[in-house]
Each structure stands twice: as structure tokens, then as C-alpha cells.
């Protein structure tokens, strides 16, 4: 019988001849699906193999007789009855007598693929029954096949084998599976029954002679006791997990066995060489087997001194390079510290966990440098620290490119630093597209026809050969930066001009648009042990970057043939390239054949690596770090089971879906189309037992406003033509276009023809669509329990069901609980329940029958930050991790709920129980109730948990810290403003929006500009400054769409004020800690896009005192217990509060690290009532911390790179210095900015002339050559500032701004303008051109002034601006110098 978790309801594959159901019927095999196969596996694991039977519903159990296969000679049942000769059609392989070699094969249940294999080798095969007496016959080799059951049932075969091996002229013998046991017993050993056998395609087996480990397919319940082998025999293979025997050999005669299946159809075929060894022995029986089996034996080199390792981080988060590198770098630090090494980290991302100097119980780096990851800076730190080794693979493309530059310039050799793990030569072989192509050609592997081009002329010539459409890819780039599918020569030339501005090489490649994209994560050690840890496939066909596509793991639409074909190729390629550690390989696979092409290999940890780690439970970064030190895979332990080897390929009894998160609506003029270059700012990962369940969860995770797979307000298509285009052209809302098409009656075939998405996925989507239609036919009173259960198994949320049935979320929750429809908790254990897990890495599903564990810990729940998006990024993961580590230090059990695969908080060893689950009210309540949590912390994960607080409190959840009522008071703009008025805290004039007329009247009274602020928002969503009546009307419409349940406040916007940030922690209304940071920019730039200075550098003491007074007043008024954050504005001696968030903030890690105390650790203690040291630290007086934003405008084609009250930055970096100038300059360099060496372009709006001149004058005095637009040039000349005028492109007059930027003659653009500018489109075009050609752009006068001041303060040598004399001290040294004062 076949037991399955689910049945393929609509099988579809180009190679399909009949369905599984048809095959089962044809062979009279019953199949049952809907089984909790995991629970069944666990039962067998714990109880051992047992008898079973299938009893039809309604029948008496006694009506089905119990059959015990252990009592039967199963071999006799499956063996053929008469000998049968197979003769190969291949060229004959001749024996010593000149005739075609003959193999006699004992059929104990031989697999057809064994016969196929021998036939491909030119031999003849005489297949004989199991009891056939061959002992006196002549043949060139004896093969003993696999077979079922107990080997002791085959005494006749054993007797014949014993007689054969006693012959002096006995030929070579090769046995597999049962053949291993039969030959072993014939030699004199014994066999025994395993508890439940070794089965599946991923059993790790070690060759005891070479120490190489192979991944093998197996299916057996008995094992040979190798300890009982007589003299002359030896074990040759051993199972690396349970230590059982996997093969034997004679020390002198050519007799060898394998317990596994080297020939398995479809694989893996890593040990197929054993068949070749057998055939070689047949040709020369005197040839010893040992040398061949020792081939590839690894001889460890003499160890070189290694006590200190330098680890390069990735810097601030940007599109294409996000929080996954905080996770991978943190894992690497732990692994290196566990090895007893000192770790020096260079990473300016102050919000990352890895840049902590104190690990809160976890291992931290010994020295942390918040410095730019640039060759100059890294060389300086190498000179100071003198590490013996450096790891390049944990810092994304930033770390990789920096390491390659250091190697090429001779810096590493100069200081005796060796690259650990993958060599620079191997890195270049993957990153340089020309070398990569040559390398693949060396091993006969397929790559799309392409040309690596180093100049524009070469690229244009290549495009003529390749033809259009063609793909353009950039070398040494991340996230598809600079790549695109181009369909015309005109577009091609323009694109390549831009590309060459940021890369030394482009690849012009044949377009394979419409093919499937498949990816494998591969791990290899220095001894050539190589495994694939996870394979994934894209929902979208080729043409959409894998970071932009929905991704499914493991692949759902590949056959075993395709899976193993690509797996074998991956291992072959990675071995040839010489990767040591982890990498990934991406393929294009023809959806109509087995044809494939290799797209690329990334020789480092990547976003996919983080996803694969979380999807499988296999800690890729940790393992890669250990391999970089020279450890071997078989010697490493699986950190989830703690009892098996890390040299294995995980088994997944669930399906994982990754969905990207875009924030394209935040940017003006940006295209919503997605393609080969990344635009997404984050991603989510959902786990389910069916794809429907997994997908619906994932879609909801991307945004609380998403209900699941159904039409959504974000996507609107009025006409059929518009809908068809939305299906044909991928956008960030295409999944909702598909939902809309299904709602309108489009067939799967029609949608497939428009999208080229594999029909397997579309049929699954149709099942969700059909389930929704079924639900809509019921009311809560008529809804059957079976329908509710099926809906939940298909991933429908309570809120979804409620909307479809005319109910409420909490009513549906109560109804399904009354029906007994509740989710089950399952573990991710890497082994599909075959071995017990030592960790609690969990998810919830309705496709199950039992929980995997009990619930006795009663821990404290911490709700994480969810998906990274603009406004909520790695900073909140830092806060979440700080909270769970603090709980552990207090001896309290922690329960983490989060779904972001890029985070440290979702690392399996950070908390006591990790739920990779939705941050919805439904799922939070499910976990809270199931775990019996004593409290829930909502204030460390950003806005999503905060928004849940009030509902959680009303449903009986004990919300730790500040009460949900007070959280609501701070979030609701009206309530908060009223509270400020009540306690005497000044604020800008405001009014609750009750009608558009009232709002217009208010603005008319107080004067424009005014600020429109909706409630419960993050990162300024729908916040806008209105400078006129028309703008206000438009903004009010937008704001009410954001938060319909909450009112909108309109307030007076204060121009040219100094904005201030406060991070603080209080208990029972008393402030315990606080930090006051000052913005570099004047008010009008969102705090997330602003540059912060701590301690404040220009605020006077009276203003700071007022800020502190307001901080204490608000803490008391809101009865705060836990973290909180405020934004205030200071102008003309007045300080007004803008807003207060009763949660951790984006700047919390910055405040904590500058002040030298973890604010969240203190807040967590406050929230759970633990003792606290109430001595508040003073701001440092020997250093300044400066935090600056990271932008990703270069990836967002068309977006206007200008700043306002709505946030646009994707990350941040921060540096310390003896003064703000040093710290600021290092921070700017850390964003990737190249300081100008000579030429600067200036363009200023007339109303900003006077304000901007001092900065411009200083730059000219420092020796820079200034260019300017027409009006700016005239004004600067009037002010005595030498300048050269450049013309706008539309003027058609030389010299032209566009030409100068495109040629690289301009090294910095300063453009100061706002809504009043007369040249809005022209100014936008210049800003966009600068970004597209990689020219640094500054749009804020105060930032430009600080840059000029900093250049003046740090160096007058503008010829080497990147080598200015910046202070290179580490974070530990800054703290040490503060302590010594």
C-alpha cells in the first residue's frame, strides 16, 4: 500500500504518461492520502517496525487477515522462475577469452535499473532464480542483487555463495543491499533486524578506507554485524548516522558489497563508480580493490598557525543585501568562537546583532569595528589586528568584492593573511562571467550562449551575435543589479552605458525567458565531500529574479530524474570550481524537456542560503564557517538532532513558500514591473503541509492587510485587456491578478498561456479559489465542520472565512474551536521525524493528527518584527533578539513568534521555542493558548505587534509592560494630542480630521505648510506635508485609505526646526534610561532617513533639559513600563513633541551601542518584573556616534531620489569618532559613497541660495572644481564663488550636464530643491541620472554642510579622500577609553 500526506489532484508534466492513481490501479496497490505521515514515522521510530493492515471503513477488523511478511520468504516470491539472458547492444566488453563478458546475477528482487546499467556497459547478463546453484559454473563476475526480507530465509543462496568463495578460481563478486547481507553470512558473519531500517535517498555512508562520505539511497530492514566477519574480510562502508555496516570487502580477493543502491533510479548516483570497479575487476581479477577504494583519500596538510580571524560584514541593509548577512555572520562568529579563535569583525551596521560587544549569553566577536568595508579601511585594521585568516563569504557582495580587491592588490600577502574557505581564484571563476563560462565548458556543462564583455563596443558586437531579446548581467554584482532583459538595440546601448558605470564587465546572454528557474544550495569541504542541502524552484519563470519571485522548497514540479540530474550537475560544478564552504547554483530548466542551462554560481552565503537554512533547519552559515577552518563534513554534528552527521541532505515532510515584500508604492515614478534586477525590500517564509496552506500563510505575512490568495485592493484591472497585460507582465501584484482572473472565470490553461507559470501551481491556486467559492455559500450557522477543516487545511484564516460567510474573526474562531478544529504543532528536524530533534523549531498546521511535543514550559512569548520593509528592518530584530536573550539570562523560557528567514531571532538556537508563524491575532492566540504562556511582549518587534496589543489584551492575553490601553492612546493621534494638552506638553497645533472642510479651514488659520498624519502607521506611511490647499485635498484621500478604523490628524508643520529623537526605558512611569539624539537635517526629513548624532552636537543645554522634562512627563502620564521613543522639534527656544511610540524604535540599537548599555535588556527586565540596576549611564564625552541612512535608489528604476516625511531608506550604518566630523565621514563611506576627488555639480533652488552657499564655498576653498546649473551658477558668481556653468540637456547647448555625468566627470551632485522648484522634471532627471550612473547625490543642505566641514576637519588632501586620517578604533576601544576617563 501507499500512504501519502496529499494526492496530486491535477498531475501535469511534459513527461507524464499516466498518473499515480492510474499506476496504483494497474498494479492493484491501494493508496491512501490525507495521512499524518510524520506522526506515523514518529510512531515507527519510537516503537520500531510493526505489523499493520488496511481495514475498509465499516468492515470488521477481523475480516482482514493479518499477514506477517517476516514469516515469508519474500525473495522466493519476487525472484524469477527460470534463468533469463540479457545481451547488451552496446559495443562488447571482452573477457580474457575474447568473448563478451558474462555476469551471472542472482535475482533476489533485482531492480530494472541494474539490468539497464549493465546493458549500457557492453556485457551479457544471465539472470538466475534465487536458489539457482551457480557454484560450479564459469562466468566473469557474480552479481548478488537487492531483495526484500530476512536474509536467513535465503539459506540456499548463502550455501551456493559459500561454495563459490571457497573456489580458488572464484570470479569477482559484487553484492548490493540484500546481496551485502547474503555474502556476509556466506563469509561467516551474522545479520540482525534494525528497529525500523534505513530508508530514503539521503543516507550518509563513509568509505572507511578513503574517509569520503557519500549520500546513498537505501531501503532495507536488516543489517550485517561486521564485528563477526572472519579473518580476511573487512568492513568497507559504514552508516555515518547509526554506525551500521554498509558494505564489506575481502582483503585479497575481488569481492565487495554495498548495503546501499549505487544504481538507484533516479538517484543519487554518487557511488555508481562501484559498478565500474566491479567491471574492472572482471577484466583483471588480480587487480587489488584497495587502491581504487582509497582514491580521493584526504591527507590533511600540516596545520598553519591560526588564532585570530577577520570577518567582513556586509554593511547597511540595501535591496539585494539585507538582514540575511546578520544571521550568517552571527552564525560564523559562534562557530569561530567555539573553535577557540579570536574574531575581529568589520561591519558598520550598528543595528545588527553581530556588532554587539556583549552576546547576552551567546558568543560575540572579540573586536567589533564599526568601519567601512573598503580595501583601505580593512588594510588599516589588518595592520592593527594582525589576523592570520580572513573569511569573505559571510558579508555578501560587499565583503566578497572587498576581499578580492585585497588579494589582487597584494595586501593579504603583505600581512600574511590567508583566505579561509573558498579561494579568491574560485571566487573570481564564478564572478567573472568569462572565466565562469570557460570553467563550465571544461567539464562539458551547459550555459546559455553568452559573451563576457569589458567594453561597450564589445557588448554591442555581442548583441548582434546573440540577437534580441537578450539578457544583460553584471559581473561582481548582487541581487541582479544592472541586469535586464533587453528587446531593442537602442535600449541595449543605453542600459549597457549605465551598467558599465558600476561594473567592469557585462555578460550578454541568450534569453531563456519562460524556462523554469531552479536553485540548489551546495556544501563542500576541503576533502571533496559534497552535498546539496536544499533545492528550490521559482513560481515565476525565468526573467524574474529569484529574489523577486515566490520561491518554493523543496521543488514541487520536478520529476526525480530532473531533480537528480540537476543535483549531480551541481556537485560536479562545485567540485570543479573548488568551492569550500557553501554556495548556490541556479539553473534554467526547459519546461518541455530535460534541457537545462546553468545561470550562475554564488560562491558565498546569500539570501537563498538564509532561506534554505530556515527551510530545512540546516545551519549553513555555521557549517560553512567550520569548513573554512578545515573541518570535514562527516565529522560535524547535525545541530538539530545532536546525534547524526552534518554530512547529509535534509528530508522535508512539509513545504516552504517564500514571498517577497515590495514597497514600491512609497516611491514616485517607479515602475511596478519586476524582472531580473531586485526591487523587493524583504521576504517572508511560511511552512505548511500542503502548498495551499503554505502559500496563503505567506501572502498574509507580507502585509496585515492581505487576507490570503484572493483579489486585493492593491490590484485593479478595469478591462480584460488590462487584466491580460497584468498576467503577461510580472509586477509586484501579479499573484492578485491571477486571483482576479480566476474570479472572472479564466481557465488554468488560459492563465498558463499568459504567464508561463507551471500549471501545477495554477491548479493549486484554483483549488484555493474553489474553496473560497464553497465557503461563500454558507453562513456561520450552516457551515459544516468538515468544510471548516478543509478550509483550514487549505490555508484559510479565520478572518478570511469570516468575510466569506458574513461573520467576524472571533466568532469563526469560537465556532471552529467548538467543532474541535484546531492546529497541530510540528517540528522542523531536518530528518522528517526519523531521528528525534534536540531543538524546538516549530510551525502550526491543520494537516496533521497530533502535536510533536508537549507544552509544559509556560514561557514568555516575544512577538517578532515580521517582514523587513521600509521602516521596519534589522533594528527590530536586534530588539527581539535582545529580549529573548535577556529572558534566557533571567532563567525564563522564551517563545519566539516570527516568520522572517533573514533574521537572527528565527535562528533555532536563540530561544527555547521558535514558532515560524504569522503575526496575526489568530496565530498569536493559537500559540499563546497552546503554550500556556505567562505573558506576551509586544513592544520589541515594531509596529505589527504594537497594532495587535489592544486586541490581544481584550481577548485575555497578559501583555507584558505598558498596558494596551496606553499603547492605543499613544498610537491614536487624537488621544495622544489630547493627553499632551492635559499634562502640559507643548506640541504643534493640530486638529482631528472630521471633514475636509474643517481641515481646509484649520490650515488656512495656522498657515501652510501642514502635516497630514494617519494613526497606527510605520515609517510615515501616507504622511505628507501639504504646501497648498490642492495638495492637502489629495493627501487627505490617501491618508484615509491607510487606516480606515482610526482618525487622521492635521498639524502645523514647523519649517527649519531641529528634530530630536529620544529612546528611553521606564518602569511604572519612572524613566530608567534615556538617550537624546539630534538630527543633522532640519525637520521635514523622516527620522528613518535622517542622520543622527549622539550625544547632540548643536542643541543648547536648555533645549536638552526641556526634552528630558517632556520624557519624564510622558513616561508618567502613559504609565510606561518598557521601551518608548519620541520625536520632538526644537526652534526658537521652544521644544514640541511630534509623536511618542510605546515600543522599541528603529534607533534603539544605535542609542544602546553609543550609550554602552542595552536598552532592550533593561526594558525586558522591567516588563517581567526582574531586578534592575537603576544607575542611568551618562552620554559619552570622548566620542560621538553618527548614524546615516542607506538608500537603494539605484535599484528602483525611475524612482525620484529625494527625501521627505515618508521614509525611503532601506538600511542604516553608524560609526564612532572623536568628533562628529570623523564619525560622519566614516559613516558616509560605509554607505558605499565615494568621496569626490575633483568635480562637484551644484543646483540650488532660489529660496535655498543663502542657506546653501556656506557649504558650497567651503568645498571650493578645499580645492574642488564646482559646476552649476544656470541660475545657481549666476548666484555663486555673484557671491564670489568660482564656478563653471553646465546646460540642461533640453537646451541643446554644450557643455551639457548629462554628458558630464555619463562620462564620469562629475563625482558628486548637490541638488537642493523642494516642491516650489520651477524645474521639477529637469531636477528629477538630473537626480535620477546621478543615481543611475553611480554618482553620489546629496539633496539636503545640512548634510552638505556637515560633509564640507568634515572634509575640512579630517584632511586637506583631497587627492586621497578615501584615505583621510580617520580614527580606526574598535567599539571595544571606544568603550575602554570612556571607562578610563
- Residues acting as catalytic residues: 177, 261, 263
209, 656 Cβ separation under 8 angstroms: no
Q: How far apart, in whole angstroms, are the C-alpha atoms of residue 843 and residue 361?
A: 26
Helix axes 433-442, 424-431, angle to 10 degrees: 100
- Helices 324-338, 607-616: crossing angle, 10 deg rounding: 70
CA atoms within 13 A on the CB side of 479: 25
Closest Cα to residue 589, out of 609, 610, 565? 565
Strand pairing report for 596-602 and 581-589:
antiparallel
Nearest residue to 517 via CA among 488, 494, 547, 496 = 547
Length in residues, the chain:
1381
**CA–CA dist 1146, 1088 (Å, integer):** 7
Joined grid coordinates for residue 725: 497585460
**Cβ 1285 vs Cβ 1269: under 8 Å:** yes
Instruction: Check: CB of residue 482 under 8 Å from CB of residue 498.
Output: yes
- Spell out a b/e string for 1121-1148, using b for 16 or more CB atoms within 10 Å of the CB, else e: bbbbbbbbbbbeeebbbbbbbbbbbbbb
Q: Is the dihedral of CA 979, 981, 985, 990 positive or negative?
A: positive
Cα separation of 484 and 470, whole Å? 8
Alpha-carbon distances, residue 744 vs 1012, 1139, 1228 (angstroms): 38, 45, 51
Distance between CA atoms of 1016 and 944, rounded to whole angstroms? Answer: 9
| 581-589 vs 102-106, strand pairing mode | unpaired
Could you tell me the CA-to-CA distances from 122 to 118, 176, 640 in Å, in that order? 7, 21, 46
Identify the residue whose cell numbers are 497585460.
Answer: 725
Q: What is the DSSP letter of 602?
A: E
Between strands 1211-1217 and 1048-1052, the pairing is unpaired
The residues near 1289 (Cβ < 8 Å, ≥ 6 apart) are 1296, 1297, 1298, 1325
**642, 838 in Cβ contact below 8 A?**
yes
3 state DSSP class of 870: coil
Q: Which triple of cell numbers denotes residue 1300?
A: 558630464
Residue 688 and residue 918: Cα distance in Å, rounded?
12
Beta strand extents in 454-604 (DSSP E only): 470-474, 484-486, 506-510, 516-524, 530-538, 551-553, 581-589, 596-602
CA angle 659, 660, 663 (to 5 degrees): 140
Task: Write the CB contacts of 524 (distance below 8 Å, at least 6 apart in sequence).
Answer: 530, 531, 571, 574, 575, 579, 580, 581, 583, 627
φ/ψ (deg, to 5) at 525:
-105, 175
Q: 678 in the Ramachandran plot: left (φ > 0), alpha (ψ -120 to 50) or beta?
A: beta
- Burial class for 1107, CB neighbours closer than 10 Å (0-12, 13-18, 19+): buried
Q: What angle do CA 1112, 1114, 1120 make, to 5 degrees?
A: 90
Amino acid at each position: 500500500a501507499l500512504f501519502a500526506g496529499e494526492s496530486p489532484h491535477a498531475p501535469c508534466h511534459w513527461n507524464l504518461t499516466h498518473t499515480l492513481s492510474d499506476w496504483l490501479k494497474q498494479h492493484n496497490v491501494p493508496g491512501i492520502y490525507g495521512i499524518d505521515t510524520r506522526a506515523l514515522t514518529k510512531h515507527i521510530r519510537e516503537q520500531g517496525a510493526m505489523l499493520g493492515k488496511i481495514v475498509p471503513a465499516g468492515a470488521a477488523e477481523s475480516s482482514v487477515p493479518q499477514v506477517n511478511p517476516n514469516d515469508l520468504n519474500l525473495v522466493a516470491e519476487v525472484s524469477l522462475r527460470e534463468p533469463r539472458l540479457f545481451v547488451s547492444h552496446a559495443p562488447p566488453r571482452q573477457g580474457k577469452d575474447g568473448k563478451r563478458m558474462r555476469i551471472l546475477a542472482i535475482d533476489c528482487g533485482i531492480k530494472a535499473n541494474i539490468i539497464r546499467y549493465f546493458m549500457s556497459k557492453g556485457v551479457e547478463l544471465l539472470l538466475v532464480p534465487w536458489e539457482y546453484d551457480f557454484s560450479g559454473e564459469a562466468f566473469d563476475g557474480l552479481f548478488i542483487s537487492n531483495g526484500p526480507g530476512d536474509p536467513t530465509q535465503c539459506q540456499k543462496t548463502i550455501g551456493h555463495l559459500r561454495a563459490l568463495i571457497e573456489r580458488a578460481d572464484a570470479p569477482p563478486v559484487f553484492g548490493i543491499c540484500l546481496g551485502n547481507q547474503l555474502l556476509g553470512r556466506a563469509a561467516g558473519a551474522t545479520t540482525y533486524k534494525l528497529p525500523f531500517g534505513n530508508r530514503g535517498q539521503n543516507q550518509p555512508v563513509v568509505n572507511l578506507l578513503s574517509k569520503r562520505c557519500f549520500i546513498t539511497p537505501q531501503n532495507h530492514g536488516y543489517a550485517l554485524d561486521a564485528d563477526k566477519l572472519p579473518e580476511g574480510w573487512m568492513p568497507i562502508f559504514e552508516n555515518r548516522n547509526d554506525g551500521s555496516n554498509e558494505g564489506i570487502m575481502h582483503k585479497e580477493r575481488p569481492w565487495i558489497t554495498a548495503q546501499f543502491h549505487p544504481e538507484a533510479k533516479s538517484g543519487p548516483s554518487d557511488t555508481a563508480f562501484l559498478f565500474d570497479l566491479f567491471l574492472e575487476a572482471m577484466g583483471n581479477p588480480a587487480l587489488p580493490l584497495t587502491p581504487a577504494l582509497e582514491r580521493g583519500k584526504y591527507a590533511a596538510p600540516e596545520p598553519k598557525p591560526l588564532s585570530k580571524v577577520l570577518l567582513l560584514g556586509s554593511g547597511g541593509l540595501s535591496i539585494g543585501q539585507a538582514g540575511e548577512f546578520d544571521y550568517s555572520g552571527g552564525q560564523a562568529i559562534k562557530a569561530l568562537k567555539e573553535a577557540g579563535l579570536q574574531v575581529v569583525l568589520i561591519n558598520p551596521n550598528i543595528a545588527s546583532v553581530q556588532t554587539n560587544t556583549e552576546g547576552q549569553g551567546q558568543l560575540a566577536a572579540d573586536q567589533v569595528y564599526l568601519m567601512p568595508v573598503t580595501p583601505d579601511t580593512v588594510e588599516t585594521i589588518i595592520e592593527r589586528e594582525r589576523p592570520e585568516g580572513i573569511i569573505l563569504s559571510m558579508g555578501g557582495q560587499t565583503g566578497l568584492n572587498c576581499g578580492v580587491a585585497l588579494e589582487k592588490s597584494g595586501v593579504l600577502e603583505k600581512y600574511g593573511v590567508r583566505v579561509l574557505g573558498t579561494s579568491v581564484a574560485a571566487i573570481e571563476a564564478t564572478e567573472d562571467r568569462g572565466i565562469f563560462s570557460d570553467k563550465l565548458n571544461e567539464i562539458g556543462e551547459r550555459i546559455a550562449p553568452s559573451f563576457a564583455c569589458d567594453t561597450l563596443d564589445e557588448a554591442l558586437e555581442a548583441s548582434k551575435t546573440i540577437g534580441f531579446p537578450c539578457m544583460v548581467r553584471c559581473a561582481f554584482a548582487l541581487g541582479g543589479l544592472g541586469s535586464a532583459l533587453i528587446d531593442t538595440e537602442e535600449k541595449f546601448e543605453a542600459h549597457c552605458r549605465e551598467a558599465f558605470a558600476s561594473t567592469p564587465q557585462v555578460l550578454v546572454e541568450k534569453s531563456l525567458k519562460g524556462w523554469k528557474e531552479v536553485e540548489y544550495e551546495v556544501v563542500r569541504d576541503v576533502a571533496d565531500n559534497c552535498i546539496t542541502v536544499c533545492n528550490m524552484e521559482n513560481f515565476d519563470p525565468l526573467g524574474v529574479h529569484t529574489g523577486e519571485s515566490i520561491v518554493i522548497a523543496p521543488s514541487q514540479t520536478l520529476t526525480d530524474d530532473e531533480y537528480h540530474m540537476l543535483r549531480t550537475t551541481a556537485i560536479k560544478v562545485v567540485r570543479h570550481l573548488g568551492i569550500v564552504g557553501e554556495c548556490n547554483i541556479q539553473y534554467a530548466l526547459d519546461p518541455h524537456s530535460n534541457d537545462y542551462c546553468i545561470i550562475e554560481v554564488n560562491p558565498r552565503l546569500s539570501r537563498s542560503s538564509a532561506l534554505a537554512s530556515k527551510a530545512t533547519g540546516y545551519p549553513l552559515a555555521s557549517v560553512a564557517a567550520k569548513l573554512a577552518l578545515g573541518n570535514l563534513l562527516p565529522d560535524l554534528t547535525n545541530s538539530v538532532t545532536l546525534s547524526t552527521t552534518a554530512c547529509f541532505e535534509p528530508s522535508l515532510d512539509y513545504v516552504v513558500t517564500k514571498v517577497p515584500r515590495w514597497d514600491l508604492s512609497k516611491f514616485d515614478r517607479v515602475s511596478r514591473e519586476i524582472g531580473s534586477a531586485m526591487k523587493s525590500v524583504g521576504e517572508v517564509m511560511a511552512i505548511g503541509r500542503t502548498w495551499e496552506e503554505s502559500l496563503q500563510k505567506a501572502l498574509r505575512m507580507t502585509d496585515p492587510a492581505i487576507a490570503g490568495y484572493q483579489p486585493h485592493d492593491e490590484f485593479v484591472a478595469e478591462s480584460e485587456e488590462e487584466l491580460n497585460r497584468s498576467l503577461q507582465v510580472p509586477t509586484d501584484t501579479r499573484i492578485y491578478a491571477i486571483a482576479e482572473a480566476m474570479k472572472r472565470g479564466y481557465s488554468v490553461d488560459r492563465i498558463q498561456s499568459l504567464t508561463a507559470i507551471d500549471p501545477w501551481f495554477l491548479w493549486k491556486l484554483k483549488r484555493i479559489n474553489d474553496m473560497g467559492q464553497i465557503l461563500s455559500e454558507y453562513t456561520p450557522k450552516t457551515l459544516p465542520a468538515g468544510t471548516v477543516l478543509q478550509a483550514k487545511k487549505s490555508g484559510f484564516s479565520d478572518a478570511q472565512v469570516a468575510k466569506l460567510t458574513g461573520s467576524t474573526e472571533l466568532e469563526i474562531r469560537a465556532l471552529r474551536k467548538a467543532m474541535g478544529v484546531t492546529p497541530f504543532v510540528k517540528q522542523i528536524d531536518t530528518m522528517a521525524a526519523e531521528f528525534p530533534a534536540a531543538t524546538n523549531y516549530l510551525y502550526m498546521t491543520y494537516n496533521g493528527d497530533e502535536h510533536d511535543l508537549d507544552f509544559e514550559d509556560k514561557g514568555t512569548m516575544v512577538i517578532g518584527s515580521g517582514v523587513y520593509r521600509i521602516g521596519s528592518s534589522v533594528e527590530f530584530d536586534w530588539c527581539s533578539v535582545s529580549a529573548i536573550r535577556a529572558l534566557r539570562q533571567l532563567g525564563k523560557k522564551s517563545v519566539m513568534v516570527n516568520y522572517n528567514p533573514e533574521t537572527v531571532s528565527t535562528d533555532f538556537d536563540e530561544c527555547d521555542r521558535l514558532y515560524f508563524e504569522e503575526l496575526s491575532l489568530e496565530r498569536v492566540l493559537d500559540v499563546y493558548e497552546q503554550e500556556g504562556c505567562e505573558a506576551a511582549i509586544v513592544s520589541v518587534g515594531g509596529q505589527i505587534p504594537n497594532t495587535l496589543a489592544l486586541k490581544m489584551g481584550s481577548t485575555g492575553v497578559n501583555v507584558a509592560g505598558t498596558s494596551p490601553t496606553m499603547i492605543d492612546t499613544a498610537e491614536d493621534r487624537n488621544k495622544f494630542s489630547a493627553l499632551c494638552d492635559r499634562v502640559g506638553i507643548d506640541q504643534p497645533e493640530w486638529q482631528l480630521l472630521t471633514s475636509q472642510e474643517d481641515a481646509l479651514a484649520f490650515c488656512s488659520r495656522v498657515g501652510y505648510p501642514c502635516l497630514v498624519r494617519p494613526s497606527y502607521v510605520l515609517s510615515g506611511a501616507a504622511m505628507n506635508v501639504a504646501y497648498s490647499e490642492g495638495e492637502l485635498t489629495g493627501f487627505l484621500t490617501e491618508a484615509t485609505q491607510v487606516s480606515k478604523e482610526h482618525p487622521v490628524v492635521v498639524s502645523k508643520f514647523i519649517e527649519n526646526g531641529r528634530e530630536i529623537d529620544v529612546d528611553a526605558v521606564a518602569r511604572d512611569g519612572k524613566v530608567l534610561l534615556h538617550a537624546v539624539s539630534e538630527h543633522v537635517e532640519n525637520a521635514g526629513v523622516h527620522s528613518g532617513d535622517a542622520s543622527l548624532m549622539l550625544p547632540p552636537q548643536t542643541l543648547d543645554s536648555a533645549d536638552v533639559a526641556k526634552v528630558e522634562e517632556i520624557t519624564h512627563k510622558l513616561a508618567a502620564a502613559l504609565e510606561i513600563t518598557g521601551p518608548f521613543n519620541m520625536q520632538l522639534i526644537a526652534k526658537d527656544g521652544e521644544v514640541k513633541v511630534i509623536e511618542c511610540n510605546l515600543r522599541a524604535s528603529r534607533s534603539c540599537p544605535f542609542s544602546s551601542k553609543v550609550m554602552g548599555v542595552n536598552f532592550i535588556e533593561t526594558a525586558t527586565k522591567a516588563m517581567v518584573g526582574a531586578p534592575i540596576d537603576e544607575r542611568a549611564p551618562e552620554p559619552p564625552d570622548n566620542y560621538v556616534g553618527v548614524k546615516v541612512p542607506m538608500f537603494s535608489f539605484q535599484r528602483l528604476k525611475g524612482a525620484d531620489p529625494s527625501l521627505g516625511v515618508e521614509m525611503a531608506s532601506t538600511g542604516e550604518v553608524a560609526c564612532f569618532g572623536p568628533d562628529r566630523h570623523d564619525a560622519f565621514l566614516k559613516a558616509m563611506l560605509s554607505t558605499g559613497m565615494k568621496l569626490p576627488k575633483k568635480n562637484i555639480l551644484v543646483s540650488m533652488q532660489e529660496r535655498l541660495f543663502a542657506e546653501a552657499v556656506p557649504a558650497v564655498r567651503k568645498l571650493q576653498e578645499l580645492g574642488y572644481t564646482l559646476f552649476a546649473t544656470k541660475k545657481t551658477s549666476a548666484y555663486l558668481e555673484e557671491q564670489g564663488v568660482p564656478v563653471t556653468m553646465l546646460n540642461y540637456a533640453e537646451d541643446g547647448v554644450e557643455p551639457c550636464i548629462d554628458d558630464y555625468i555619463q562620462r564620469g566627470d562629475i563625482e558628486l551632485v548637490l541638488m537642493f530643491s523642494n516642491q516650489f522648484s520651477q524645474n521639477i522634471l529637469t531636477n528629477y532627471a538630473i537626480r535620477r541620472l546621478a543615481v543611475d550612473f553611480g554618482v553620489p547625490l546629496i539633496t539636503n543642505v545640512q548634510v552638505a554642510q556637515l560633509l564640507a566641514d568634515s572634509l575640512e576637519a579630517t584632511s586637506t588632501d583631497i587627492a586621497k579622500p578615501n584615505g583621510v586620517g580617520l580614527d580606526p578604533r574598535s567599539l571595544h576601544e571606544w568603550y575602554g577609553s570612556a571607562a578610563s576617563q
